[in-house]
Chain A
């Protein structure tokens, strides 16, 4: 027996797969044949399998594309290489055979990365996987990788956390299957990466960002999305919501021994979608013509409008109630631009009462992000590597906010012998911000509660001159000063892995990998002593500083096998995994400081607030995967995994789950050779995935606090479970992959159904039971959906004009089948004003539950004897937060070096509770409170009295919109959240550098993101709201809009060069 294999690292590393190490043994007889295998451009191909058809023995080409094999001259040699058409050559009398392999159009783009980082030909899979090229992510610069996936993958839903710097984004694949965590698992080069994110509720708060945003898009070679439990069974518990597998760029020199790439971009973020505010009435109360006329009528007086306004509506003296309505002047004051002269803050006594239509725009700047990336790649026979450095700095659109990021990553592959290969890759990230502003309701003070005539520029100038002094409201803060009460972030993170593969025999290899992801994060929020609350109470300021430490380690050992028996091939692996997670946090805070504005804990006055928290858990697993194929048309895959989780009780901490998948290439099986139908595959799979819970859920404990130096203990408010079982998700999917007209059009269709049972939930209980909830296994959620991908080379002319188009579309229905016992609802989240998001048996996930208008049997709004809508405290189902369908269309047009591409992205259906809409009524700041002259003439609410007679009572706009009935009504604030957006546009040109020695490539492009909202509902349009924006990265922010910071249009310029 003799093995004549040479194991080398492949040039195209994403093709690197264990199955390439096909055994080749040759009987030492007859002649030795050698030769070179090249691609169509003459570049040697390494790793090409050269197979003796008779003996099934073979060889693999080396780094220079050379091979050597001994064979009988009567046999044929088969040359196989992934992505290239197979060739069979009769040896005859030749001893040298040079072969040029032609790309296999059918499978060129079909190698995808699957679970555990294994590259597989897509046609062998029995489940849906979709892969994106790294270039598609960096086409238009977007720092958060989640946002750049939007619209590009069928069946994902992305919610951007808004336009503050470093904000989170949330991604869900195939709908929500859980009430608490639905986000997929992120894997970088085989290592799970933490993607925790602040789970902000509808009220908003500081968005510290989702941690997967640390991944530098510049280093990404490809992103592979495993969509359901079927594709991801091998990752176990956490993969039930799908997996996003990121493969980073590695030594990719092709012919180069050394390569340097450089890219640079400048992007401007321009606040684009402003709320629709009115500019007709200013601050004050009772100031409209309606009140003025009524006053003169009722009192038999003949005051001028100016006299009336000054006496009863608005007159500034001290901003503290000393004048007329000057302490709380919301927008029910006198008409602007009507020649009135009133005493005002910025312009003084008897100054013109004028509108300031730009006073919201003046709060914001144009943001700018400058990013530079340089990478060095080197490649040789025994070692190859890539080092990349990215620096990015952002100035936010909000005053005094910004973000800095430096990412250093390195990949090194060593091949010391033909049996051993080793790889190390790591990424170091430092992410810093001096100030991440709070999102949400705090912005109501600027958008809604402030006077429409407010002089923003004056306030800003005053801040730079005097700080927080002399603000319009002596007890309020100049908002520009408030932005000096900062929330700073400093995160340092390293993730990466070391792996080694040893070829035991030609068909068996062993692989070991240790992967790690850890970060230290410091969050520091301060409130300065000059803040009005602190001045009033004589306090020296406050701060909270929190140190977080998070680490996950994964150790995997696998044995990989790959054997071919005639027409059958069997490959797969057996492996074991140990995963440990450790999280620590320590937080200190001071409610008062002895020396003002010295933010250190020893300076705390009174008892410093302190807390610490540790979370530690472990899972161990053994797993196997086996794939069998018959010829090249029938594929069977089986996986199994058993987990042991420390978070579950002893009797249930071990659980097993299997999956099976089947793929059939109909065209190959029937040897169809149709010009119309080039390829057709059917696939189907079934899988079960188990899941555990968080640490420390099994026992009753008391959490500690202090009062006056004495510890106080609070008992757990969630009743611990008795015999907790693992969660269980069962899913199946069927799909087809079809190609038409010589592969120019391809259609991929998937139908899936997934049921999650035994969810580990804290089910809410009435507080009167002594607990707020019980942790137990409960509920059944079912997700069903369809995904479609249609792509085509509409016009294909390699030498001229090309048009490629990709369309994806998906719909998902997530139904809550059951909860627990008689429980009528499960609360997923709550928003401002008491609206909640619920899971209700028989309803879709995410019902918006709130207070409606009181209606009679005919559906007419019922009003009280004052002509104002009646209120109720019986909440009802007002909508649902999940969209009906999502989709995207991308088009690329190219002509020689020039290309234009754009992406349109849509989410249709689904509702949200808009806190902006809710406050548009009482604050009188929005356009909807001045339409149809209501402030002059008042209005008669369209409704009936309780006895059924039509309402005939005229009320002022102020009485209606600012009446307290509206605090007991959520119905008018539920808006349709549909949108269609022009998400990306890129105009690029690649220079022909073939004549230049120094340059290998040069590309410039103009790029744009979020350029236009092509469609949104009437409700969101009327208020000027971007329907897409949610909060934070968690479930809790879904379906809530709360004084969104204007979303931005981004324009920029990008240059990439290779040396």
Chain B
């Protein structure tokens, strides 16, 4: 009996001791020592900018996919419009991740009471959303990014028009919020290094870009926005000089290297990668003796400039191979400290030129804006003044010269100035059909007379978002109905 009592007591003591000690440190122990729970908003903006650069100006989308569709570049040996489930999903995910980080920045900036940072993040979010809707068409936007706040697990797909309108609203909100005497943007602003005024100009320039794109579908709204911006230059300044360019410059020291360089750069000049220039780009430059040609492209080993041809021509032309096709120029593809071009001032001049030329806003001088656009683009590419002057007199370049209309000239010059902004260039080519691209990659040549209309919706979205509009028409993966603002007749 004595033994039993002692044992029972022992058990009770042991169990009691254990129960008391067992959960004492649990909460402290389960607090993550590896990651922060509160961070400065500016450093999250940095993440958003980097993710945006890496996807939009990385090799896969900028060179291989949109680069091919836009007529700028080509991937030789794989020169077809490639669709692979995994890669396709990751494009979509990266686009929405960058917007997520911008939204996160906005939330933190709000907590910090930093309106400038909020406005910068909102500008970036709208910028990426504009790219996304131009790539896919309908996207979830008004209900997107609200899982944490609202519990929305299946955000609905807005129409393209709705997305555009929300983007314009957001950009206006941001434009009105920037305060040059307000809170600083902090160390995470890798785009303008804390220069609020440049953000403001970028934001307003974007409003012009978005308005012009939608002007083919909703001219009235477009005109209203353009008038609002250009009519109030003090309140809504836009980019006007190459100093204002929204270019993210890479430090150039490993691992922070410019993405095109990472993929195709060669310090020894021995560029070998399959990524080359497109025939459409090279002919457009050759046609008008464009002094940017040697900047955009390298001579092939025989001292000529040739671009890679797509479509039916691809097979018949025995010179259409790696041996003869020009590499991409060093400024764009072979500089570890190069840039990711979110937007440049030249484009803003062309946006103005088009607005004036089409009378979307009154009081401007289209020719002047057009010449300024060309000048800014050439200067940016290191072309000297005499060469610029000469180029402006080329028959198909000079205002009112040659056989092409002034509007077509604006479109072409803008498209050339957008080199390395392939998603933007592709959208412009789809809106304007300038330059005209009839040659479609061989696998689809039988059925289509234009490059792809859109990116394929990702497989992941179809399985994870029950709001996916399954009635969206996708033909041969990349085609289907044209986007909202794509009013080209008789294209397929």
Chain A 595-631 near chain B by CB (<8 Å), digits 1 or 0: 0000000000111010011101110101000000000
A701 near B466: Cβ-Cβ < 8 Å: no
Q: Are B466 and A822 in contact (CB under 8 A)?
A: yes
Other-chain contact of A768, B21, B77, B256, B461 (Cβ < 8 Å)? B461
A774 at interface (Cβ–Cβ under 8 A)?
A: yes
Given A474-B270, A708-B190, check contact A834 B85 (CB 8 Å): yes
A871–B476 touching, CB < 8 Å:
yes
Contact with B along A531-557 (1 / 0, CB 8 A): 000011111000000000000000001
Contact with B along A136-168 (1 / 0, CB 8 A): 000000000000000000000000000000000
Q: 8 A–B contact pairs at CB < 8 A?
A: A576-B14, A606-B256, A644-B26, A708-B256, A713-B43, A719-B148, A770-B100, A772-B93
Which of these, A557, A620, A833, contacts B14 with CB under 8 Å?
Answer: A557
Do A834 and B26 touch (CB < 8 A)?
no
A646 touches B29 (CB 8 A): yes
Known A766-B154, A774-B147, A851-B85; contact A653-B254, beta-carbon cutoff 8 A:
no
Residue A504 is within 8 A (CB to CB) of chain B in the complex? yes
| A964 interface residue (CB < 8 Å to B) | yes
Please report the C-alpha to C-alpha distance between residue A866 and residue B267 in the assembled complex, in whole angstroms.
43
Residues of A within 8 A of B18 (CB): 576, 578, 620, 622
User: Which A residues from 850 to 872 make CB contacts under 8 A with B?
Assistant: 850-851, 864-866, 868, 871-872
Report A's interface with B, CB cutoff 8 A: 312, 320-322, 325, 327-328, 474-475, 504-505, 508, 510, 535-539, 557, 559, 574, 576, 578, 590-592, 605-607, 609, 612-614, 616-618, 620, 622, 644, 646-647, 650, 653-654, 695-696, 698-705, 707-708, 710-717, 719, 764-772, 774, 821-825, 830, 832-836, 850-851, 864-866, 868, 871-875, 963-965, 967-968
**Cβ of B147 and Cβ of A613 under 8 Å apart?**
no
Q: Which residue of chain A is the closest to B336 with respect to CB atoms?
A: A537
Q: Is B82 within 8 A of A967, CB to CB?
A: yes
- Asked if residues B11 and A574 are in contact (CB atoms below 8 Å), the reply is yes
Give Cα A622–Cα B15 distance, bound, in whole angstroms: 8
User: Within the assembled complex, what's the spacing in Å between the Cα atoms of A714 and B43?
Assistant: 9
Q: Are A770 and B148 in contact (CB under 8 A)?
A: yes
Flag if B101 contacts A714 (CB, 8 Å): yes
* 4 more CB-based (< 8 A) A-B contacts, given A616-B33, A834-B86, A866-B446: A536-B270, A616-B29, A710-B43, A830-B86
* 1/0 contact string of B117-155 vs chain A (CB within 8 Å): 000000000000000000000011000111110001111
Q: A592-B254, A871-B83 are in contact. Are A834 and B144 (CB under 8 A)?
A: no
Residues A696 and B30 in contact, CB atoms below 8 Å apart: yes
Task: Give the residues in chain A near B89, CB-CB below 8 Å.
Answer: 834
Interface status of B397 (Cβ within 8 A of chain A): no
Chain B residue nearest to A319 in the complex (CB) = B272
Is B232 on the interface with A (CB-CB < 8 A)? no
Q: Which residues of A contact B155 (CB under 8 A)?
A: 766, 768-769
The reply to whether A766 and B140 contact each other, CB–CB distance below 8 Å, is yes
B97 at the interface (CB under 8 A from A): yes
Q: Are A715 and B267 interface neighbours, CB within 8 A?
A: no
Cβ contact of B26, chosen from A653, A872, A963, cutoff 8 A: A653
Name the residue of chain A whose CB is nearest to the CB of B155.
Answer: A768
Q: Is the CB of B162 closer than 8 A to any CB of chain A?
A: no
* Chain B stretch 41-56: residues in CB contact (< 8 A) with chain A: 43-44, 46-47, 50
Smallest beta-carbon distance A440→chain B, Å: 15
Task: Give chain B residues whose Cβ lies under 8 Å from the Cβ of A868.
Answer: 443
8 Å CB contact of B460 from A325, A612, A766 = A766
Complex alpha-carbon distance, A875 and B93, angstroms: 18
Binary interface profile of B, 239-271, with partner A (CB < 8 Å = 1, else 0)? 000000000000101111000000001111010
Instruction: For the complex, give the distance between the alpha carbons of A609 and B37 in Å.
Output: 22
* Known contacts A327-B272, A505-B3, A622-B15; A769/B145 CB under 8 A: yes
Give the CA-CA distance A821 to B152 in the complex, in Å: 12
Alpha-carbon distance A985/B370, docked complex (angstroms) = 83
The answer to whether A591 touches B254 (Cβ under 8 A) is yes
A696 engages B23 (CB within 8 Å): no
- Distance in angstroms from B462 CB to nearest chain A CB is 8
Tell me the bound Cα distance from A707 to B52 in angstroms.
Answer: 14
Residues in B neighbouring A871, C-beta threshold 8 A: 83, 476-477
Q: Does B408 contact A (CB under 8 A)?
A: no
Q: How far is the CA of A821 from the CA of B347 in the complex (A)?
A: 47
Q: Which B residues, 294 to 325, have Cβ-Cβ distances below 8 Å to chain A?
A: 301, 318, 321-323
B267 adjacent to A536 (CB under 8 Å): yes
Q: Collect the chain A residues with CB atoms within 8 Å of residue B393's CB.
A: none
Our pick among B101, B139, B148, B190 for the contact of A771 (Cβ within 8 Å) is B148
| B46 in contact with A710 (CB, 8 Å) | yes
- Interchain CB contact under 8 A, B22 and A620: yes
Take A644-B23, A865-B447, A967-B82 as given contacts and tell me if A766 and B465 are in contact as well, using a CB distance cutoff of 8 Å: yes
Check A617 against B265 for contact (C-beta < 8 Å): no
A612: B residues at CB distance < 8 A: 34
Establish whether residues A536 and B466, one from each chain, have CB atoms under 8 Å apart when the complex forms: no
A710 and B194 CA atoms in complex are apart in Å by 14
Q: Which residues of A contact B83 (CB under 8 A)?
A: 871, 873, 967-968
Which 7 pairs between the two chains have the least Cβ-Cβ distance?
Answer: A834-B85, A591-B254, A620-B22, A701-B35, A606-B253, A834-B86, A696-B32
Q: Are B477 and A873 in contact (CB under 8 A)?
A: yes
Q: How far is the CB of A514 from chain B (nearest CB, A)?
A: 15
Fill in one digit per residue for B8-19: 1 if any A CB lies within 8 Å of its CB, else 0. Answer: 001100110011
A764 touches B443 (CB 8 A): no
Chain B contacts for A964, CB-based, 8 A: 78, 80-82, 443
Residues on the A chain within 8 Å of B456, using CB: 873
Inter-subunit contact B267/A538 (CB<8 Å)? yes
CB distance from B334 to the nearest CB of A (A): 10
* Minimum distance in angstroms from B33 CB to a CB of chain A: 5
Structural contact, A702 and B23, CB atoms closer than 8 A: no
Residues from chain B with a CB closer than 8 A to the CB of A700 are: 37
User: In chain A, what residue has the closest Cβ to B26?
Assistant: A646
How far is B148's CA from A614's CA once the two chains are assembled, in angstroms? 27
Residue pair A614, B100 in contact (C-beta under 8 Å): no
CA distance A321 to B255 in the complex (A): 30
Question: Does B161 lie at the interface of the complex (its beta carbon under 8 Å from any beta carbon of A)?
Answer: no
CB-based nearest A residue for B446: A865
Taking CB atoms, residues of chain B closer than 8 Å to A622 are 15, 18-19
> In the complex the two chains form, is A710's CB within 8 Å of B187's CB?
yes
Write out the residue numbers on chain B whose beta carbons fall within 8 Å of the beta carbon of A538: 267-268
Q: Is there contact, CB below 8 Å, between B270 and A698? A: no
Closest Cβ of chain A to B388, distance in Å, is 34
CB-based contact A712/B147 at 8 Å:
no
* CB < 8 Å neighbour of B100 from A504, A767, A774: A767
Residue among B15, B19, B86, B445 with the most chain A CB within 10 A?
A: B86
Contact of A711 (CB < 8 Å), options: B14, B27, B43, B318: B43
Q: Which residues of B contact A609 (CB under 8 A)?
A: 255
Q: Contact at A646–B44, with CB atoms within 8 Å?
A: no
Whether, in the assembled complex, B359 has its beta carbon less than 8 Å from a beta carbon of chain A, the answer is no
- Cβ–Cβ < 8 Å partners of B92 in chain A: 767
How distant is the Cα of A515 from the Cα of B480 in the complex, in angstroms?
A: 65
Q: Are A321 and B321 in contact (CB under 8 A)?
A: yes
Residues of B close to A616: CB separation below 8 A: 29, 33
Q: What is the minimal beta-carbon distance from A937 to any residue of chain B, in angstroms?
A: 20
User: Taking the nearest CB of chain B, how far is it from the CB of A1038, in angstroms?
Assistant: 18
From 444 to 483 in chain B, residues with beta carbon under 8 angstroms from any chain A beta carbon are 445-447, 456-457, 459-466, 474, 476-477
Contact: A873 with B459, CB < 8 Å? yes
- Determine the residue in chain A with the shortest Cβ distance to B152: A769
Bound-complex Cα distance A922 to B311 (A): 20
A702 x B270 contact (CB < 8 A): no
**Partner of A327 from B15, B188, B322 at Cβ < 8 Å:** B322
Minimum CB–CB distance from B299 to chain A (whole Å) comes to 15
The CB with the most chain B CB atoms within 10 A, among A719, A766, A771, A965, is that of A766
Closest residue of chain A to B17, judged by CB? A576
B26 to A650, Cβ gap below 8 A? yes
Q: Does B43 lie within 8 Å of A701, measured CB to CB? A: no
Taking a contact as CB atoms under 8 Å apart, the answer to whether A702 and B37 are in contact is yes
**In the bound complex, how far is the Cα of B154 from the Cα of A769, in angstroms?**
7
